Amino acid sequence: MIVLFYITLYFFFLFITYFKFGTLFRANNLFNTMWSLGAIVVLYEVAGLYPVSLLTHMYIVFSILSFNIVYLLFSKKTFKFQMNIDRRDLKLKYVYLLNISSYFFLIPILINAIKIIINLGWDSLRLYAFRDSDILASALQLRIVSWIVYPIFLSTILLAVILAVKKVKIPFLYVIATLNLLSYTISFGGRNDIIKTFFYFILTFLVLKSTNIKKVIIPKKYIFYGICILSITFYLTTLRSLKGLNFIENALVYFFGSLSYFDVLIHSPEFSTFHDSLLFGTGVLGFLINPLLYIGMMIFGIPNYTSEYLVKIVTDNYIFISENFRYNAMSSALYPFWRDGKGVGIVIGMMVFSIIVVVIENKYYNNRNLRSFSLYIFILFIVFSSVMNYELLTIRTFMNIVFIITFTRPLTKAIKVQNNRGL
């Protein structure tokens, strides 16, 4: 019965979206796909995941309703257009200078990471990743990498993906982006950024196909590049795979285990003390408020009250989400919104999240340049991954936006054409 309800809700908004915009690919349908699929996965206890409570299902349903109502009210209908992008849209001197400078901070960590992998193995590297230690990196090094180096690297990768898809020839940029992806992955033993890069490609193609009049063709070399990314992801997954699960089950737990994790968190008396203190909107707007709070900490010496930290001290804990394995870190967008104001916080949080998406999306449709397009792909991935975690909670997301703006010029070069129905 619950499954039928999710399917009905999904196709209802799919129809409304197509009727209003003349296309199936919009941010709300991306949101609906991931959240509906995630709800069904945990409902059927795939890979042994604990089923979530009826309360959590209600939160998911209200999330879908809140996000879609705001999105459908305020997102604009657009005409198809031809967006022209070339290397002049990019401030290449800034890109090259900041990327090369970043390696002065990353190389010492990279060397330590290689030593750990050789002596202790890949799993051991993950134990030290983002933890203050003399073995991999100090707290100061990790902060610099997280708030400056990583945003520079990710912004460069995103811009490189978009320019590659648009067939703009900047070979050195693509070399730097590839080195960034490999060096950061090796330094911290993660797979998230490889997955991000893959979906940046997918989202870029889908947006161009749905909004550009010119036919978008996937070159064979990008198909090969995508296969390489998936192969690396598969290899890293086998290194960190949960015992007894196949690749598909591991992927489903990776994407949707967050919902079981959230359900366990909010019902666990162990964390009730933390849950008594509400965040009052600093969760949903963390990427704007937390940088200001952190500056206040540094100037006035006040305790760390950033929502990013207050969420992290709870989600750092490993908790069983099945009888056989534990999970941490990713609690979906539900948890920071729930910390903002329980059920009301989730409804308001999803509405605010939807407004942020609409503002960035409408900016893309109005400006149609590299900067607005990059920010649009960036926010689309955040929508896609919101079922896993809420990236707008963090300071480094704010810095990502800063560097995307820093690296691009606000040029507008697009030709509006007829409103064709399409993907």
Confidence of residue 419 (pLDDT cuts 50, 70, 90): low
Sign of the CA dihedral running 363, 29, 315, 196: negative
Residue pair 407/159 in contact by the 8 Å Cβ criterion: yes
Under 8 Å CB-to-CB from 197, ≥6 apart: which residues? 157, 161, 181, 229
- 155 contacts 162 by C-beta, under 8 angstroms: no
Residue 374 sits at the vertex; the CA angle it makes with 370 and 379, to the nearest 5 degrees, is 150
The pLDDT tens digits of the residues spanning 252-289 come to 998 999 999 999 999 999 988 889 889 999 999 999 99
The predicted-structure confidence for 377-391, as pLDDT tens digits, reads as follows 999 999 999 999 999
Q: Give 3-state DSSP helix, strand, coil % of the chain, rounded to 5.
A: 70, 5, 25
Instruction: Tell me phi and psi for residue 228, to 5 degrees.
Output: -65, -45
Question: Distance (Å, rounded) from C-alpha 195 to C-alpha 250?
Answer: 14
CB atoms within 10 A of CB 86: 14
Q: Give 339-375 pLDDT, tens digit per residue.
A: 999 999 999 999 999 999 999 999 998 888 999 999 9
- 57-61: long-range contacts, CB 8 A cutoff, minimum separation 24: 57/2, 58/343, 59/334, 59/338, 59/343, 59/346, 60/35, 60/259, 60/334, 61/5, 61/6, 61/9
Domain boundaries, the chain: 2-84+256-416, 87-239
User: pTM higher than 0.75, yes or no?
Assistant: yes
Q: Do you know the residue count of the chain?
A: 423
Q: What is the mean pLDDT of residues 245-251?
A: 82
